[in-house]
Amino acid sequence: MSVKERKERERAARERLIVAAARELAEQQGWDAVTTRRLAERIEYSQPVLYSHFRGKREIIGAVALEGAAELASAVRAATAAVNGPRERVAALARAYLDFAERNPAVYDAIFQLDGGLAYAQEDTPEQLKDAFAALMENLAEVAGDGIEPGLFTEVFWASLHGIATLTRTKRLLPEYAEARVELLVDRLAML
């Protein structure tokens, strides 16, 4: 049954190709430009092929979101691993998070803004999303403060970062305050 296995490998490879193409196109020209036709053209297949891998455009966004969530998690862990001291660790986390959002706006949107048909904060939430939240909580639990549940604190800190990330990207905040916002947020929210 080697033939079947080969076909499955090829199929998986093509699926990765679709996700990669969608992501690249979205980062280059925004999600609006990610149409089924353009996507099909990029992978050099016809549109119906997309629907043999994904239920629709929404699921493709979801696939990009999962890939991105895994990257966000490791970006956060990588940025905090080598840092000594809780305060600097939290600041590094905040900068890594905002940096990821700025460098991968389309992927960030796929994870947090667009509808990728994924469940959040529930049992059936995909591993990658749970793990991204876990990566935040690992570094934030130690500064949550007495009597504050780490999960609650992480939600608030995360929401603040998310607000800054999205409002910054849509040019609703003053660029010159960027660094000061992070400092203020970390100094006030984290209990040291």
> Which residues lie near DNA (CB under 7 A)?
1, 3-4, 7, 11, 33-38, 45-49, 51-52, 56-58
Contact yes or no for 114/61 (Cβ under 8 A)? yes
CB of 72 to DNA, least distance (A): 25
Nearer to its own copies, 45 or 151 (CB): 151
CA distance linking residue 151 with residue 133, whole number of Å = 9
* By CB under 8 A, residue 166 contacts its own copies: yes
Q: What residues numbered 140-159 form the site for its own copies, per CB under 8 A?
A: 148, 151-153, 155-156, 158-159
The Cα–Cα gap between 163 and 159 comes to 6
* 67: CB partners within 8 A, 6+ apart: 19, 23, 107, 128
Whole-number Å distance between alpha carbons of 107 and 7: 29
Residue 108 makes contact with its own copies by CB under 8 A: no
Indicate the residue among 5 and 123 with the shorter CB distance to its own copies.
123
In this structure, the chain runs to a length of: 192
Looking up tokens 């050099």, which residue turns up?
A: 44
Binding site for its own copies (CB under 8 A): 112-113, 120-121, 148, 151-153, 155-156, 158-164, 166-167, 170-174, 177, 180-181, 184-185, 188-189, 191
